Amino acid sequence: MDTIENQIDEFRFEAVDGAKVRIVEEMAVNDDERVIPFLLEVLADPDEFELARVKSAKLLSSGFEFQRERTCEVLAEVIRASQGSEAIFMAAMDAASAYHHHSAELRRAVQEYEGRRDTLLQGRGADEDRARRDEELALEFLDEMGGLDL
């Protein structure tokens, strides 16, 4: 067994969460062709330790040519599915900037997110306006009643 195989085995079978991040970092300095598929596997696994997934996405943001098509597929999947983790989502979006010009699917995933974000921001704006109006009405009511005696 060589170093890469040992690190992959340690990650999969022995490592606790904090050690997984260290292993991902150590593997990234290797030019071995097995590193990118491993980073993609870690990033794609929703049950994997979150910081290891974030680190994998950050390492992939260097824009590797090797397995670029698979990288685009995984990033698109993660962007579409990572609504529960902002850290993973943001790391995947950062990595997508290095690849989106290579993949229509990845561009669509980013555009879908931007559409959802705009809709959410518009909804939040309306909610904030309503909350502000309610607050103003409540303060006016209290003024009319002679204030709040604490």
Q: For 9-41, how does the pLDDT look when each residue is reduced to its tens digit (9 = 90+)?
A: 998 988 888 899 999 999 888 888 889 999 999
Which pLDDT score is estimated for 9?
92
Q: pLDDT band at 62, cuts 50/70/90? A: confident
Mean pLDDT of the chain: 81
Which pLDDT score is estimated for 37?
93
Is residue 125 assigned to a domain?
A: no
Q: Which residue range forms the structural domain that includes residue 19? A: 3-103
Is residue 134 assigned to a domain?
A: no
What percent of the chain clears pLDDT 90, i.e. is strictly above it?
23
Is residue 64 assigned to a domain?
A: yes
Is residue 29 assigned to a domain?
A: yes
Which pLDDT score is estimated for 45?
92
Which pLDDT score is estimated for 138?
72
pLDDT of 100-150, one tens digit each? 787 888 888 888 877 766 665 565 555 566 667 777 777 776 666 665 454
Is residue 44 assigned to a domain?
A: yes
Is residue 12 assigned to a domain?
A: yes
Is residue 139 assigned to a domain?
A: no
Q: Enumerate long-range contacts of 59-63, CB under 8 Å, 24 or more apart.
A: 59/24, 59/25, 59/28, 60/36, 60/95, 60/98, 61/91, 61/94, 61/95, 61/97, 61/98, 62/98, 63/98, 63/99
pLDDT(5) > 50: yes
Give me the number of domains the chain comprises. Answer: 1
Is residue 42 assigned to a domain?
A: yes
